[in-house]
Structure 1
């Protein structure tokens, strides 16, 4: 299946570089480029991309507001923030707006490719440093023990708990598979089970839910 990608950035040279980089992958198709948020919204409605690579600081309409409006008009479209900035407020604003990934522009090409493929599957993709910011923010919220159920905690197997801790540290499925010497398919199966047991829609929510329940620190 070809993943249709829209690149949104106010720097033409950067957009061209991304198009050149991504064009070598057979499962990727860069269907359009936009220099600002307003242009991105117009193109997204026309082209229906699967994944949007979104800069945050742009003229006319910034990336956070564009992401929010894009998720309203095209809920199935997945947004990955690709920016130079990693200050806490921008990270949280981007994720609150509906972004499913947050990467810095100095990310390796392999990580970017991995993030695009993960996003197309509906999986969150955050680098460890960004994951740490998110977890730290939620750590400020007092835990509620009212929803803590021993049955739910006991239901997680030792392997599932091990994988959950690695997810919380920001590891991707591939990295978890390498560390535990198992296949990526096995990791995905365990993650599906973890999401089901924790009643979470994605890996980020699973980590947050696990912390609320006291399963992980």
Structure 2
């Protein structure tokens, strides 16, 4: 069972999202918040697996709440949910440690798929968001590529192999099966990779993997 904290300042939006999530028996909304500060408090008290946060909320916006949750409840993954698709929101969401970014206008199946992916240790961007990120990467691929290739030189061969699979969007369990390792070992590798690359989350690590040419 994946335990979810749902935060949105509009009660009707929360009800709609809750109804979508209820269609999957493996998902359980254990707490709801109407603002970012309440979301942080509930993350501390309920220890959800995933915090699903709207970006625009009173008292503390979703980006601020995401950063705080990642700090005080590191076991809780964060998925940002918004009606806005501007590039600065995407970049800031990734920067504060969000593992997923979904648009409210997207297919409800994306919401369920995104929560499962992030809860499983993978990153998830809705197709529209992924296209924006790819476009941004393509714009500066040459300079970013050189820098990324330098950064991954600090990794061992096995760590680069794991990083490539992170870049391909695989979860820890999928990487473990691919490399014939136990999942705990993969988790340790991913943690070491994030530390060595000085990045906050798998999304940032995946971008480096793509820039460095590790992902076909």
TM-score, length-normalised on structure 2? 0.73
Considering Cα pairs closer than 8 Å and 6+ residues apart, tell me whether 1 or 2 has the greater RCO. 2
1:53: which partner in 2? 52
2:105 corresponds in structure 1 to 106
Larger radius of gyration: 1
Distance 2:214 2:117 in 1: 25
Flag the structure with higher helix content: 2
The answer on 1:34 being equivalent to 2:33 is yes
CA distance in 1, matches of 2:36, 2:78: 13
Give the CA RMSD over aligned residues. Answer: 3.5
Unaligned runs of 5+ residues in structure 1 are 174-184
* Pairing of 1:138-153 with structure 2 (within 5 A): 138-139=137-138, 140=140, 141-142=143-144, 143-144=146-147, 145-146=149-150
Listed one character per residue, the Cα deviations across residues 72-110 of structure 1 (whole Å, up to 9, x for unaligned) are: 110010110010011111111111111100000012121
**Do residues 189 (structure 1) and 189 (structure 2) align?**
no
Q: What is the distance in 2 between the residues matched to 1:7 and 1:124?
A: 18
Preserved CA contact (<8 Å) 2:2 2:28: yes
What is the CA-CA distance between 1:137 and the residue it aligns to? Answer: 3.8
- State the partner residue of 1:23: 22
| Matched positions, count | 194
Partner of 2:3: 4
Query: Distance in 2 between the 1:29 and 1:148 partners?
Result: 38
Point out where structure 2 has 5 or more consecutive residues left out of the alignment.
195-200
Change (3 A) 1:15 1:187: same
